[in-house]
Structure 1
Amino acid sequence: MSFPIGGIMPVGMGAVTGVAGATEGVAQAQRADGFSAVLSATFDKLQGTQAASDQLAAQAATGDLKDVHDYMIARNEASLATEMVVTFKNKAVEAFNEIMRMPV
């Protein structure tokens, strides 16, 4: 049994969820329905992370953002989350193709 490692919670970022929050949602989904629930929860968390980053970007563009560090952290978090999900998808497709090549 593996235990997810929680991330460092950001300080002063009400709209942005931290990595620890994402792993908690994925862990709950994993207990519920397995692979499809984990995949669904991962995409939901990715969408939420990107939406928070977009919201902070809009605030930065209009001059409403008080601290640019909040946006930079959110943008990097969204970028890393996207990269992780794409890598996960590529490995899943690779594994599926490998299974399909197995002789029966």
Structure 2
Amino acid sequence: MSIDPIGPIAGALRINAPVAPTGVAAAGNAAEVFGGLLSQSVESLQATQTKADALAVKAATGDLQDAHDYMAASNEAALATQLTVAIRDKAVAAFTEIMRMQA
């Protein structure tokens, strides 16, 4: 049995990318597509963290049958958050670099 280390992260940040039209219209819709992708990924991250929070409450009150469920959800939420922060940092760095370019 093999374990997919990316599986939990990909599951937490599952994005159904919209298909951008081709040609000149694609450049105009690029911002909408990108915005949609960001919105989907943030909603997915929020859902993952909400699940981990709910399991944490169950663990604290003694209603959780299997502590493994909470640990898995907690690690999944932490990894998804780290991935989101890394992507944000790269986007900010790219934006800063673009702003430094001369016209």
The TM-score, its normalising length taken from structure 2, stands at 0.76
Pair 1:76 & 2:95 matched? no
Deviations 1:2-40 (A, max 9, x none): xxxx826xxxxxxxxx743642xx124x43742111111
1:1-104 to structure 2, matched below 5 A, reads: 7=7, 19-20=10-11, 22-23=13-14, 26-28=15-17, 30-31=18-19, 33-104=32-103
C-alpha RMSD of matched pairs (Å)? 2.0
**Residues 73/42 of structure 1: CA separation in 2 closer, same or farther (3 Å cut):** same
Alignment-mate amino acid for residue 11 of structure 2: A
- Return the structure number with greater relative CO, CA threshold 8 A, min gap 6: 2
Alpha-carbon deviation of 1:83? Answer: 0.3
One-letter amino acid of the structure 1 residue matched with residue 7 of structure 2:
G
Query: CA, structure 1 residues 21+72, in 2 after alignment: closer, same or farther (shift >3 Å)?
Result: closer
- How far apart are residue 61 of structure 1 and its match? 0.3
1:43: Cα distance to partner? 0.4
Gaps of 5+ in 2: 1-5, 21-31
TM-score (norm 1): 0.75
Greater Rg by CA = 2
Q: Deviations over 1:33-86 (max 9, x none)?
A: 421111111100000000000000000000000000000000000000000000
The aligned counterpart of 1:3 is none
